[in-house]
Chain A
Amino acid sequence: MLNPNLFPYLLGLSAFLFTVGAMGVLIRRNPIVVFMCIELMLNAGNVALVAYGRFLNSEEGQIFAFMVIVVAAAEVVVGLALITQIFRLGRELDVDDLSEMKE
């Protein structure tokens, strides 16, 4: 159903989204935004997985994508809980400020 010619564009989209996410993780300092960027990277991966699955005519790509979605959900749960706790402690939400584990 999907036009095979679209495949390179889908991969390009995935790469674009991944790069945007990665740059966001590296540049932004707000942990919530960093989180969103990570989600973006995961979903870029999902796009690529689904595209490959379709292109190779296999269900495994979609299965992996579901796996990633579940992992991402779990990660969000843990991560947001941490961020909320940090916020409750009355600290500024800045990843550069959170470096107590250095030593």
Chain B
Amino acid sequence: MNVSTASTLVLLVLAFPLIGSALNGFLGPVFGRRFVNLAGTISIFASFVVACLVLANVVGAPAGQGAITVRLWDWINLGGGTNLSVGMDFTLDALSALMIMVITGVGFLIHVYSVGYMEHDTGFARFFSYMNFFIFSMLMLVLAADLLILIIGWALVALSSYLLIGFWHDRPTAVAAARKAFITQVIGDVALVIAAFLIVLNTHTLSLPNIFARTQAFPAGGALITGICALLAIGAFAKSAQFPLHTWLPDAMEGPTPVSALIHAATMVTAGVYLIARFHVLFNLAPVAEGMVACVGMGTAVMAGIIALSQIDIKRVIAYSTMSQIGLMIYAVGIGAYSAGMFHFAMHAVFKALLFMAAGNVIHALHDEQDIRLMGGLHARMRWTHVAFGAGSLALGGFFLFSGWFSKEDLLGFGTVSGPGAAPWILYAVGVGVNVLTGLYAFRLYFTVFQGEPQTARGFGVKEAGYPMLIPVVILGALSVIVAWPLQFPLPNTLHVFSDFLSPVFAGSQSPLLHDPSFGLALVALIIGTAASLIGIGLAMRLWYEHRPDPQVVLASLPRVIPLLSYNKFYFDEIYDRALVQPVKAVARTARRVVEPDVMDSWVQGIGELLRGFSLDLRLVQTGLIRDYASIFTVFAVVLVVVWVFIAR
């Protein structure tokens, strides 16, 4: 692949969704629904075709040919001491090819699904315009070969997310959720920007290949590189809904379900994983930051898993499950298992998009009911959706030979060979616990929604979804079973198509935390992990399907604090509200009511008042009597003469 081919491909893959977005936004309301449906889906499909070409080119590239970077135009060139010089640079390598394949592939299916889902919504043109724009932004983010361009894509993604969360703008909750998501993202943006400052001031470049080539500017393990990586990680946490910047994701479920599937499950929220994988050269120099990332990832995975167990909104359960799974990916890239993290990202994109869309079918069939306590018994009435959801749940729960099993066991296997000391083993043990939790919450959802008896009258009258909504679900359902088979097997020295494909990206630099696993250890880890998943699924079956024992009894036997924390999402919303939002608002109110009038303006007014008072006093002299004036005049004349004659001499 030469540079001109590459730049054509990059332009095309970016242009299709952008044109689609503009067509839908400006012409959609004029030409109507059929036009929007076609323009919205075809643009993404065209982009997908180009992405396939990119993949073919990357796979077919001669060995040893690294990433190809193309510059579309110069963005800024300030020169000077800092030499801030940025171009509209895009890169094509295995990592970006993988990302654009997943984004456009899953994205296309979700767009097809949206045709059915938004059938009765009046804002269809706006919706497809935003969705297309999201695909464009996400592609820009993953293709960017310059940190500044990456930040632009990073923020545009947040913008599309904001627009789509608040899509139903008549709902105050949706509007508030959109704002919360956006502001959290801005915090992450600022962290990235400051990281960019540190990088450009030390390496005099923001271009990713150049940064990675000039790592000698950073002493390994030093405070500088650790700070940069910590800031990058904060950006990643904001985007990937990791602790402590995770609270926006559950609220983001206010958006339409296809949005949750595309943005808040498959693609955008995994951008944090991509960012860390992309910057693995820097992270490999900062073991402390890597450790922090791994701990935060695993911590979020556990926390979100516990919360998912008690939520009653079908989409929120899946949202917390997403948060938990991304936690695992973050953990993987934290310990340096980049390929494993990216593998789980790809598999997760498939089965999580599936779960969301199947949930969307359920919600649609029940006329916008999202409370799982009012569902149940849908398996007989929504056969295809039920089968697909079951496949997705098995993949999520890590059932043997389902796609999630390959990626999750692969990922956890690396936990056994990461880093010195006891901390990695603790993290690994927690990871096994997460496997149990995943099985539990995945099948709690499945059993409550699809098994048992319908809980409301509406449940008896449900119908299977239409074809536009069913076909993508079925395709993804099939994929979530088989997609991993030809790609990767979670044992060393076996089938490794996926990690071999990515190895040119990650081979150059090895994390100090990770060493190669031995076959035996990996096998033991595989067996332990699989068993943990099965235990989780089995427990869920006992609790929510066979009702032996009743879940309420189990809850009652636990210390009260655990269900309380779980149900209230560890009180993070309340804590942030009290500790951050309200104080800022109070300060702002004080500024307006007290500081502005009494401090900022008072001294100005004070000078005015002073002069006014002085002039009022002075006015008393002005009696209007000519003889008074003459007397004063005379007296001062005499005084002047006296001073002149007797004193000044």
Binding site for B on A (CB under 8 A): 22, 25-27, 29, 34, 95-96, 98-102
Task: Let me know if B2 is at the binding interface, CB within 8 A.
Answer: no
Q: Which of B622, B623, B631 contacts A26 (CB 8 A)?
A: B631
Q: Which of B625, B631, B634 contacts A96 (CB 8 A)?
A: B625
- Which B residues touch A100, using CB under 8 A? 624
- Which A residues touch B625, using CB under 8 A? 95-96, 99
- Which A residues touch B648, using CB under 8 A? none
**Could you tell me if B626 and A95 are in contact, using CB atoms closer than 8 angstroms?**
yes
- Which B residues touch A95, using CB under 8 A? 625-627
Q: Which positions 595-649 of chain B face chain A at CB distance < 8 Å?
A: 622-627, 630-631, 634
Shortest A36–chain B CB gap in Å is 15
Residue of A25, A27, A98 with most chain B CB atoms under a 10 A cut-off? A25
**Could you tell me if A26 and B627 are in contact, using CB atoms closer than 8 angstroms?**
yes
**Could you tell me if B624 and A26 are in contact, using CB atoms closer than 8 angstroms?**
no
**Could you tell me if A101 and B630 are in contact, using CB atoms closer than 8 angstroms?**
no
Task: Contacts A98-B626, A101-B624, A102-B624 known; list 9 others, CB within 8 Å.
Answer: A25-B630, A26-B630, A95-B626, A95-B627, A96-B627, A99-B623, A99-B624, A99-B625, A100-B624
Contact string against A for B residues 89-112, beta-carbon threshold 8 Å, 1 for contact and 0 otherwise: 000000000000000000000000
Chain A binding surface SS class: helix
Closest 7 CB pairs of A and B: A99-B624, A102-B624, A95-B626, A25-B630, A96-B625, A26-B630, A26-B631
- Which A residues touch B624, using CB under 8 A? 98-102
A95 to B622, CA, bound (A): 15
Sample of 6 A–B contacts (CB below 8 Å): A26-B631, A29-B627, A98-B626, A101-B624, A102-B623, A102-B624
- Which A residues touch B627, using CB under 8 A? 25-27, 29, 95-96
- Which A residues touch B631, using CB under 8 A? 26
**Could you tell me if B622 and A102 are in contact, using CB atoms closer than 8 angstroms?**
yes
A34's closest neighbor in chain B, by CB?
A: B626
- Which A residues touch B634, using CB under 8 A? 22, 26
- Which A residues touch B622, using CB under 8 A? 102
A102's closest neighbor in chain B, by CB?
A: B624
A100's closest neighbor in chain B, by CB?
A: B624
- Which A residues touch B630, using CB under 8 A? 25-26
Shortest B567–chain A CB gap in Å is 76
Shortest B639–chain A CB gap in Å is 14
Shortest A18–chain B CB gap in Å is 11
A49 to B626, CA, bound (A): 28
B622's closest neighbor in chain A, by CB?
A: A102
B631's closest neighbor in chain A, by CB?
A: A26
- Which A residues touch B626, using CB under 8 A? 34, 95-96, 98
- Which B residues touch A26, using CB under 8 A? 627, 630-631, 634
A55 to B206, CA, bound (A): 93
Q: Which positions 324-360 of chain B face chain A at CB distance < 8 Å?
A: none
A99 to B623, CA, bound (A): 8
A99 to B634, CA, bound (A): 20
A101 to B624, CA, bound (A): 6
A23's closest neighbor in chain B, by CB?
A: B634
A96 to B626, CA, bound (A): 7
A51 to B623, CA, bound (A): 39
Residue of B622, B623, B626 with most chain A CB atoms under a 10 A cut-off? B626
Shortest B612–chain A CB gap in Å is 16
A97 to B624, CA, bound (A): 9
A99 to B628, CA, bound (A): 11
- Which B residues touch A99, using CB under 8 A? 623-625
